[in-house]
Structures are given as structure tokens and as C-alpha cells.
Amino acid sequence: MSRVPLPYNPKILELFRHPKNLGKMKDATVTAVAGNPTCGDMIIFYLKINDEDVIERASFESYGCAANIATSSIVTEMIKDMKLEDAWKISWKKVIEAVGGLPSVKFHCGILAVGALKRAIRAYYQNKESSPSWLSEELTFEEKQALEEEELAKMISKRMKKEGRK
Amino acid sequence: MFEHVKDLLKAHEGLKHEVYLDIENSSMVPKEVVEAMLPYFSQYAYGNPTLTHKPGWEAFEAIMESSQKIAKFLGCKVIEEVNFAPGETEVNNLALMGAAFTMKGKGKKIVVSEIEPLSVLHVTDLLSKYGFTVVKIPVDGEGFINLEKLADVVDKETILVSLSAVNHEIGTIEPIKEALEIVKDENPEAIFHTDASDAYGKIPFNVQDLNVDLATLSSYKILGPRGIGVLYVKEGVKINRILEGQIGTQKLWPGVENTPLIVGFAKASELAFKDFEGNVRHMQRLRDKLIDGITGKIVDVRLNGPKGDKRAPDNVNISFLRCEGEALTIELSLNGVYVSSGSACTRRLLQPSHVLVAIGRKFSEAHGSILMKVTRCHTEEDINYVLEVIPKAVERIRGITGSVEMK
Ligand code: FES
């Protein structure tokens, strides 16, 4: 039987209730933001990276829906002790699989989480002299999506101002 | 039963209390109303009311009696002014499209406010594709329609004006009488429609006093069953049907009448009007307890809509800053408090409630909004429980937001 999947399977609900690695990281090596509160979704990712380019710790903060919270949470777990090169390969599809699936309306929440991760990795190498060959210059799908959402938010805010909102 | 959601339900196990406040989107039906409806499914009056047999005659009588009751509560002149149709959405579609198509030859302009429900605004969007010109009147920070702007906009070309008597999201009691006078002064021929779904049974609403042409009522908003509503059509006002088929007792809505639901709506009306003033005072008391309890206990909150007598007695709409509304509704649900939010995350569109945006709320404020409506059936204990749950839920969600900055 096919039916519209519910946004919240047990795994998501569990991660929503007890998110892992929640909160600001004071000694983070890099921090990245994705999304915009205008759209109702915004994430901050914090990574602690060691000299071997391995993620020692990751944490997040999220202004978003339960799917957003759950996917962010699972990403921080997936990338712990991972080499940046491997973390870079994580796609939004893998993340959605890891939380047990999401309906299509909630895909963007998971994409945003991965977008924040990739931005963090990119930012990390921006501060270095050279970046590794696996780091594509072109934005990844997730980074592009995050950018698109941010642009949309900007457009909406601009339109509202133009309409002379009080 | 509930096979597919059993995990979600499990997460709700062991709740010590549950309070349903999402009356905007559906409602529980009290026992008395269910009991009034039950025999009409299979005991009697299950026939088609236009047919000549006993179960049909019984149904005819039941429908006429229900019309009569609602006509009395509305202050109708004749019971033919009461037209049943399946719910607020259908009734608003009927009112707007029916009026627009009837008046087509006389002009093209339709006037609504920016904060009408989507069953009005989406219909006017559609009508604008069929050559009608739609003008939306702005509202102020509390949701009151700008009457000067209304006077500017309405002209001889205006065929239809639709303004809610009470706003469905923020409870603003609109100056409908003044609005109607302005409209009729400019153009006596224009049809004046009001969606009174949030007014009927909540504020004094008498169609003869107000002299509106059309008014929408919704059954579930007064704790009747879903799927039934009324379009009041003033005697002498003509509007077209928007569906065709076999006409029964309801000349504006073809098809077989749903007698049990009609009876349920009439019963719910009786209960709402049995002690109207008492019910209103009760709702006001609970409303203010809820508003004061939240605004007094939690920082960074904003009440959306006016206060006191200018606000519907049942409506509570509050924005919690730094708190995304969808996450908050789930957290509240897990604690037995059922509400809805104007957040974009609860919708398929990327935009938050158009009502909150129209009253000048920032998007981040609208995303953190929670809408609750109290009813005559809620108790002080219910509200105490809600006031116990909300601060903890808000604190937890704000903890997840952390240092994410709101622009
Ligand atoms: S964060 Fe807005 S829908 Fe998930």
C-alpha cells in the first residue's frame, strides 16, 4: 500500500526528543551557518578538527523543524572520528536514509544539515595554504541548495520591504 | 487501528492530561452532539428528504427543524436564508464564486482584506484569472481593516466585498457594520459577504442588525461535526450555484443532504446559545488566563492581535521568539497539548502565516507563533495544565535554537 509517509518515524522522534551533540562548541576549529530564519530554517555546525584532518567532535544548533533537528543530530554522530575527506563524501541521501527516511517536503531540512557540514569543511581549508584535491571548487548540491534557500529568504525580505510593510 | 502511527502514539503514552486547543483546524465533538446525531444514521430520517417515503419525510422534517434553529440564532427573517453546504471552505467558495458569477455583468472589482482565510483568498486568486480584479485592503498591527482604504477602493465597479467578522487566526473583531455602511454608501448594489465562522456562537452576531448579504458559518468551530456549514443568503439576494446536479432541499448545493451532520450542527448551536453570555464569559476567562499565564511566565513572547473586548473570546495567538513553531507543536503534542503554528515548516509553502505577515510581524516572529482556541468545554484545570507544559516546552526548543541569530 502506498501512502504519504509521515514526517516523523520513531528514529526522528527519538532524535528530536534527545538530540545528540547539541549546543555551541567554544573551542570549535570551524563554524558554519546554513539557512535563514526568514524561511524558518537555520543551522549552525561546529567542528573540532585535529592536525590529521580528523573530526574529533561535532555539534550543532538548529532553528528548524523536528526533521531538521534530527538530521543535524545524526550528521554530528556520523562524522565523529571521520577524516574530512570521508565526511565530505556524505550526501543528503545518506543522511535521510540514516534517519529512516523523510517525506519529500522535508528533504530540504536534511539537505540544509549536510550543506552546513560541507560549508564547515570548505571554510576549514580556506584558512589553510592549500586545499586537497578532493575538495571540489564547484559547490556541492547541498551547498547550492542552502544558498538557494538563503537567496529566496533575501528576496522575500526585500519584497516585503518594497511593499512598504510597517 | 492506527497501525502506521503506532510509534508516534507510543511516544504519547502515560500522559497525565491532554488538552486539545487546535479548534482552528478541527474539533472534538461533545457527547451530547454525537448522541443527537446517532439515530439519524440508521434509526430514522436516513432517507433522501425530497423523496416520498417515511425515512425521506423524517429527513425533511429534521432538516427543516435544524434550519429553523440556526435561523433563529442568526436572526434570519425566513428559514430559506439558511443554506447548508459541506463546511467553511465549500461555503466560502460558493459565496465568492456564486456572487461573482451572478454579478459579472455589473462590474469586475472584488474587495477583500489581506487577512482573510485561504478559502477566501485562494478563491479570489482564481477569480482574478477569470477577469475579475481583486483588491486587498491592508490591516493595522492588530489586524483591524483600514476603513479609509476601503472607502477609497469601493466604487461602482465593485460587485463583491468579503471581510471576516472575526479573524480566524488572531481573533480581531472587525468593524463589519461600519465596513458594510461604507460599501453600501459607495455602491448599494455590491454584495457584502462575511465569513462569520469565528463569530457565530462567540460574539453577538445578528444578520438583520448587521444587514449583510451573505455570511459563512462553520459547524466544527462551535464544536459541531466537521463537514457541514451554512451560507446565510439574505432574502432577495441572488447568487449562482457553483455545482450542478440533483437539487434537493438546498437550492444552492445539489446532492443528497447529510442529515446527521445538519442535525449535529443545529445541536451544537443550541448548546452554544443556551447560555451564550455565560459561555462567552467562560471562554474569555480561560483565554485571559492563558494569555496572562504565558506572557507573565515566559520572556520574549508577543501576543498577536488585540486585547480585551476587541478580541474574540476564544482566541490566543502568541509568538515565541527564538522558538521554531513546528518543533514546538511537536514538543507540546508529546506533552499532551495539541495546538497549531503559523510557521512555514508546518506548511508546504516556504512562507509563514499570511495573517501574521500582514499585521507586520517579522518572519522569525511568525515562525514561532502558536494558535490556540478555548471552548465552553475547556476547564480551568485544562488551562493550568497547558500553563505547566508550555514554559518547559519553549525552554527546551529554545535550547536547541541556542545561539542561532534571528534577524
Ligand atoms: S526546517 Fe523548515 S521544514 Fe524543516
Residue A41: pLDDT over 90: no
Residue A7: pLDDT over 80: no
The CATH number linked to B370 is 3.90.1150.10
Which range, of A62-71, A99-108, B314-323, averages the lowest pLDDT? A99-108
Whether the Cβ atoms of residue B217 and residue B203 lie closer than 8 Å to each other:
no
What 3-state DSSP class applies to A90?
coil
Question: Which pLDDT value is given to residue A2?
Answer: 52
A61 lines ligand 1 (CB under 6 A): no
Q: Which chain B residue's Cα is nearest to A66?
A: B327
Does B182 lie in the same domain as B283? no
Question: Which pLDDT value is given to residue B349?
Answer: 64
Question: Which pLDDT value is given to residue B348?
Answer: 61
Does B326 lie in the same domain as B348? yes
Which position among B76, B323, B345, B377 bears the catalytic label?
B345
Question: Which of A63, A160, A165 is nearest residue B404 as measured by Cβ atoms?
Answer: A63
User: What average pLDDT does this structure show over A53-79?
Assistant: 96
pLDDT digit string, tens, across residues B169-193: 999 999 999 999 999 999 999 999 9
Residue B19: pLDDT over 50: yes
- Return d(Cα B328, Cα A40) in angstroms, integer: 13
Strand partners, B215: B194, B232
Whole-structure pTM value: 0.94
Q: Show the CA angle centred on residue A78, arms to residues A77 and A80, nearest 5°.
A: 65
Residue A163 pLDDT class (50, 70, 90 cuts) = low
For the CA of A66, the nearest atom of ligand 1: 4
Does B92 lie in the same domain as B235? yes
Q: Is B377 a catalytic residue?
A: no
Question: Which pLDDT value is given to residue A156?
Answer: 78
- CA–centroid distance, residue B343 to ligand 1 (Å): 9
List the A55-63 sheet strands across, edge first.
A30-36, A41-49, A55-63
Give chain A as a DSSP string: ---PPPS--HHHHHHHHS-SSBS--TT-SEEEEEEEGGGTEEEEEEEEE-TTSBEEEEEEEEES-HHHHHHHHHHHHHTTT-BHHHHHT--HHHHHHHTT---GGGHHHHHHHHHHHHHHHHHHHHTSS---TTS-SSPPHHHHHHHHHHHHHHHHHHHHHHTT--
The CATH number linked to B246 is 3.40.640.10
Region for residue B392 given its phi and psi (left: phi exceeds 0; alpha: psi -120 to 50; beta: otherwise) = alpha
User: What average pLDDT does this structure show over B79-97?
Assistant: 97
Residue A155 pLDDT class (50, 70, 90 cuts) = confident
**Interface-testing mutation among A65, A76, A155, A161, with chain B (most B C-beta atoms within 10 A):** A65
- Beta-carbon contacts of B292 under 8 Å, excluding residues fewer than 6 positions away, are none
A66 lines ligand 1 (CB under 6 A): no
Residue B405 domain-assigned? no
Count of CB atoms situated within 10 Å of the CB of B178:
13
Count of CB atoms situated within 10 Å of the CB of B176:
22
Does B323 lie in the same domain as B241? no
pLDDT digit string, tens, across residues B210-235: 999 999 999 999 999 999 999 999 99
Question: Which pLDDT value is given to residue B154?
Answer: 97
- Return d(Cα B62, Cα B50) in angstroms, integer: 12
Size of interface A-B (CB pairs under 8 A): 102
Q: Which of B273, B295, B313 is the last residue of a domain?
A: B273
User: What average pLDDT does this structure show over B369-380?
Assistant: 98
Question: Which pLDDT value is given to residue A166?
Answer: 41
For the CA of A112, the nearest atom of ligand 1: 1
Amino acid identity, position B315: N
Top-tier CATH class for A10-165: alpha beta
Backbone angles phi, psi at B190, to 5 degrees: -65, 140
A12 lines ligand 1 (CB under 6 A): no
The residue contributing the CA closest to ligand 1 atom 2 is B345
Distance from CA of B333 to the nearest CA of A (A): 12
Q: Which one, of B217, B208, B209, lies nearest residue B236 by Cα?
A: B208
- Return d(Cα B31, Cα B37) in angstroms, integer: 10
Residue B325: pLDDT over 60: yes
| Residue B159 grid cell | 460587485
Count of CB atoms situated within 10 Å of the CB of A33:
19
Give B24-69 as a DSSP string: TT-----HHHHHHHTHHHHTS--S-TTSSSHHHHHHHHHHHHHHHH
A149 lines ligand 1 (CB under 6 A): no
Pairing of strands B369-373, B315-320: antiparallel
Which range, of A140-149, B165-174, B370-379, B381-390, averages the lowest pLDDT? A140-149
Question: Which of A66, A165, A166 is nearest residue B327 as measured by Cβ atoms?
Answer: A66
Question: B8: which chain A residues are within 8 Å (Cβ-Cβ)?
Answer: 6, 8, 10, 13
Does B310 lie in the same domain as B256? no
By the CB < 8 Å criterion, does A166 face chain B? yes
Q: Print the domain residue range for B312.
A: 2-21+276-399
Q: Pick the more confident residue, A157 or A130.
A: A130
Question: Which run of H or of E encompasses B133?
Answer: strand B133-137
Residue B291 domain-assigned? yes
Residue B355: pLDDT over 70: yes
Q: Which of B273, B303, B325 is the last residue of a domain?
A: B273
By the CB < 8 Å criterion, does B352 face chain A? yes
Residue A128: pLDDT over 90: no
Residue B27 domain-assigned? no
Q: Quote the distance between the C-alpha of residue B405 and its chain's center.
A: 34
Could you give the C-alpha distances from B332 to A7, A23, A133, B155, B392, in angstroms and in order?
A: 17, 22, 48, 48, 9
- CA–centroid distance, residue A145 to ligand 1 (Å): 13
Question: Which pLDDT value is given to residue A104?
Answer: 85
What ipTM was reported for this prediction?
0.92
Q: Which of B243, B273, B303 is the last residue of a domain?
A: B273
Does B266 lie in the same domain as B138? yes
Residue A165: pLDDT over 50: no
Pairing of strands B229-233, B82-85: antiparallel
By the CB < 8 Å criterion, does A115 face chain B? no
Question: Which of A3, A16, A152 is nearest residue B330 as measured by Cβ atoms?
Answer: A16
pLDDT digit string, tens, across residues B236-264: 999 999 999 999 999 999 999 999 999 99
Would you call B186 exposed, middle or buried from its count of C-beta atoms within 10 A (0-12, 13-18, 19+)? Answer: middle
User: What average pLDDT does this structure show over B39-51?
Assistant: 96
Residue A4 pLDDT class (50, 70, 90 cuts) = low
Residue B397 pLDDT class (50, 70, 90 cuts) = very high
Mean pLDDT of chain B: 96
Amino acid identity, position B59: A
Whether the Cβ atoms of residue B142 and residue B358 lie closer than 8 Å to each other:
no
Question: Which pLDDT value is given to residue A154?
Answer: 83
Residue B406 domain-assigned? no
Whether the Cβ atoms of residue A69 and residue A15 lie closer than 8 Å to each other:
yes
Instruction: Tally the domains of chain B.
Output: 2
A109 lines ligand 1 (CB under 6 A): yes
Backbone angles phi, psi at B149, to 5 degrees: -65, -40
Backbone angles phi, psi at A43, to 5 degrees: -130, 145
| Residue B361 grid cell | 510581524
Question: Which of A19, A41, A105 is nearest residue B400 as measured by Cβ atoms?
Answer: A19
Residue B26 domain-assigned? no
Question: Which pLDDT value is given to residue B3?
Answer: 80
Ranges of each domain in chain A: 10-165
- Return d(Cα B106, Cα B101) in angstroms, integer: 10
Does B237 lie in the same domain as B294? no
Question: Which pLDDT value is given to residue A1?
Answer: 41
Whether the Cβ atoms of residue A80 and residue A57 lie closer than 8 Å to each other:
yes
Would the CB atoms of B350 and A152 count as touching at under 8 Å?
yes
Q: Pick the more confident residue, B2 or B177.
A: B177
